[in-house]
Amino acid sequence: MAEDKLMMLEIVTPQKVVFSGKVQSCSVPGSVSPFQVLNNHAPIVSNLDPGIVKVVDETDKTLFFATNSGFTEVRKNQISVLVENADEAGALDIDSIKQEMKNTLEALNSAQTAEEKAGLKKQLLLSEIKLKAVEKMKEAN
């Protein structure tokens, strides 16, 4: 890929930089609708819903990240994705995710308060997103 067609992407959580590198494209779960960023995209700031960020890096490798809510900014071929958390699909284990989902469902069934139930539902949603990210990664490879 020609160097002039690449963009710089950073996926950042409060804990760390999850990804930093040159990419051909980046698809994000925008709050209004998902969208893809390509070279010379118009400047934009958008809220992000929990979902999957798809990245095609400079070597044509496709990466998937399960992310929580946050926002993205695109400006002059620089993409910043700032989210509460992000997990690269290649680093996730399906059995661990399924166990996490089972434990969360059990906790949800015994939850007492609406606040507790809401937190567990959010946790369950994130586990489902992780599972989908792993499945998409396997389909792409």
Residues 108 and 97 in one domain: yes
Residues 79 and 32 in one domain: yes
Residues 110 and 41 in one domain: no
State the residue range of the domain holding 74: 3-89
Give the pLDDT score at 70: 97
Distance (Å, rounded) from C-alpha 93 to C-alpha 57? 22
Give the pLDDT score at 141: 72
Counting Cβ atoms within 10 Å, is residue 34 exposed (0-12), middle (13-18) or buried (19+)? middle
How many separate domains does the chain show? 2
Residues 129 and 74 in one domain: no
- pLDDT tens column, 127-139: 999 999 999 999 9
Q: Across residues 120-126, what is the average pLDDT?
A: 94
When pLDDT is cut at 50, 70 and 90, the band that residue 2 belongs to is: low
Residues 113 and 49 in one domain: no
Give the pLDDT score at 1: 53
Residues 129 and 77 in one domain: no
C-alpha count within 13 angstroms, C-beta hemisphere, residue 112? 0
Where residue 78 sits, what CATH number does that domain have?
A: 2.60.15.10
Residues 111 and 52 in one domain: no
Residue located via tokens 């819903």: 49
Q: Cα separations (Å) of 20 from 16, 80, 81, 93? A: 11, 9, 10, 23
Residues 6+ apart with CB under 8 A from 41: 7, 74, 77
Q: Two tokens at 50? A: 């929990």
At residue 29, does pLDDT exceed 80?
yes
C-beta separation of 123 from 105 below 8 A:
no
Q: Across residues 46-57, what is the average pLDDT?
A: 97
The reported pTM is 0.91
3-state secondary structure 72-116: EEEECCEEEEEECCEEEHHHCCHHHHHHHHHHHHHHHHCCCCHHH
- pLDDT tens column, 52-100: 999 999 999 999 999 999 999 999 999 999 999 999 999 999 999 999 9
Q: What is the number of residues in the chain?
A: 141
Give the pLDDT score at 4: 74
- pLDDT tens column, 15-28: 999 999 999 999 99
Q: Mean pLDDT across the chain, nearest whole number?
A: 94
DSSP label at residue 5: G
Q: Across residues 93-110, what is the average pLDDT?
A: 94
